Amino acid sequence: MKRSVFPITVWVIAVLAGFSSTALAQSAQPYSGLQSRPIKALSDQQVADLRAGRGIGLALAAELNGYPGPSHLVELSDQLGLTSEQLSNLKGMFNAMKAETIPIGENLVAQEDKLDRLFAENVISEQQLKAATENIGETQARLRNAHLRYHLQARAILQPSQIRRYAELRGYEPQAPAHHKHNQD
């Protein structure tokens, strides 16, 4: 008994068309759901991170090029063999970084909120837009500079072997086999 291929072919085409239309609908509506955010340009997590002084990727240029930040260094202090003096300095840097970046982050959240409200209230002018975006850009630059500056300071107190080990622990470099590790500093 020979079965017809036609019904199976129609079914496969229908399933693929369904997947395609779902993917197309999702790509055509990438911002769907974001309209309910209090500040449209920032997620709740981004707002929380900015208010807590977290880096939110602003220091990746340093982090991924061998300039660890004080926060992660403190977290990995035992595995890195940091001295008590290094650890004390890094904790001081971390506290100073928080003290500096939290107010800048709060300011950035407030500036984004103001820009959002100007659009939401339909009262924004070109002059207001220019001023608001310039202010936001300056604040973002200050925040990024602060985070990057502490990465620069942190590296200055580390040994090359600690920087290499940090990269291994963070998954930036493959770990060396235990029997081949030597202190080359």
81-121 pLDDT, tens digit per residue, is: 999 999 999 999 999 999 999 999 999 999 999 999 999 99
Max avg pLDDT among 29-43, 70-84, 169-183: 70-84
Asked if pLDDT for residue 160 goes beyond 60, the answer is yes
3-state SS class at 33: coil
Structure tokens at 72: 């992660």
- What's the pLDDT tens digit per position in 35-71? 889 999 999 999 999 999 999 999 999 999 999 999 9
Give the Cα separation of 113 and 109 in Å (integer). Answer: 6
Predicted local distance difference test score (pLDDT) of residue 185? 46
Predicted local distance difference test score (pLDDT) of residue 6? 52
Task: Give yes or no for a contact between 93 and 70, defined as CB atoms under 8 angstroms apart.
Answer: yes
Structure tokens at 154: 């942190």
Length of the chain: 185
Task: Give yes or no for a contact between 52 and 102, defined as CB atoms under 8 angstroms apart.
Answer: yes
